Chains A and B, each alone.
Chain A
C-alpha cells in the first residue's frame, strides 16, 4: 500500500524550533516529488513548497520562502519540514503529499499524509 505517515502532533512555544517528518512507503521514494501543504484550522489549503528526494531539488512558495526549510533523506524514505523560530501564526495542520513524477514537478497530489497538527502558544 502506498502511504505517507507523518509524525505526531506538536505543541511548542513561540521562538522554539521544530522539525516534522513524513515517511513514505509502498513506492520508490526518490522519483516522486513531495509537497507540503498548510491548513489553518477552519481555513483552506495553502501550498508551501516541494522537494525531489532523488537530488533534493527544493522550491518554495514565495509566501513561505525563508520561513521554513524542506529537506529529505532518501536513505530512509523521509521528508521533513522545519522551522527555526516558530510563531503563533504557524499554528496549523501540515500535510505532506506525493506530487509529480520525475521531471514533472507539477503533478496532482494523489497521496496525502494524515497530517501533523502544530500548535504554537505561550
Chain B
C-alpha cells in the first residue's frame, strides 16, 4: 500500500470549490505530519502551493492565492487541499508530499483536476 494515496482525477466547474484528498497509509497518523501541496501544469515544473499541519502550523507559498488552503480530516487520516472559486487556470496536476521515515520525502501519485 502506498504511503500517500490521491484520487487520480477530479472535475469541477468554474466558480465551484474542490477538495483534493491525500490519504495516509494506515499506521501513519496524519496529525503528526506537515502535508505539502504542489501544482504542476503541462510542460512546466511543479510549483509550491502550501504546507499544512495545523491552523497554528501552516504556510502559504509566495504569491499563492488565498483561495488555495489546506486542512486535515483526522477521521479519514487525510490531508486536504481546498480550492475555492475555481478558475480555468487551476486545471493542473496536484501532488501532496510528506517527510516520512528514514528522512525521505514521499509524494502522492497526483490528482488531475479538470475544469469543465
A interface residues with partner B (beta carbon < 8 Å)? 35, 44-47, 59, 61-62, 95, 105-106, 108-115
Interface size on B, residues (CB 8 A): 23
Chain A residues whose C-beta falls within 8 Å of the C-beta of B45 in the assembled complex: 95, 112-115
Chain A residues whose C-beta falls within 8 Å of the C-beta of B59 in the assembled complex: 108
A108-B51 contact in complex given A44-B110, A45-B95, C-beta closer than 8 Å: yes
A62-B36 contact in complex given A108-B51, A112-B47, C-beta closer than 8 Å: no
Say yes or no: B103 contacts A105, CB within 8 Å.
Answer: yes
Lowest 7 CB-CB distances: which A-B pairs, in order? A47-B105, A106-B99, A112-B45, A45-B107, A110-B48, A44-B110, A108-B36
Chain A residues whose C-beta falls within 8 Å of the C-beta of B34 in the assembled complex: 108
User: CB within 8 A of A47: which of B47, B104, B109?
Assistant: B104
Chain B residues whose C-beta falls within 8 Å of the C-beta of A109 in the assembled complex: 36, 38, 46, 48, 97
Chain A residues whose C-beta falls within 8 Å of the C-beta of B106 in the assembled complex: 47
A61-B48 contact in complex given A44-B110, A45-B110, A110-B62, C-beta closer than 8 Å: no
Chain B residues whose C-beta falls within 8 Å of the C-beta of A62 in the assembled complex: 102, 104
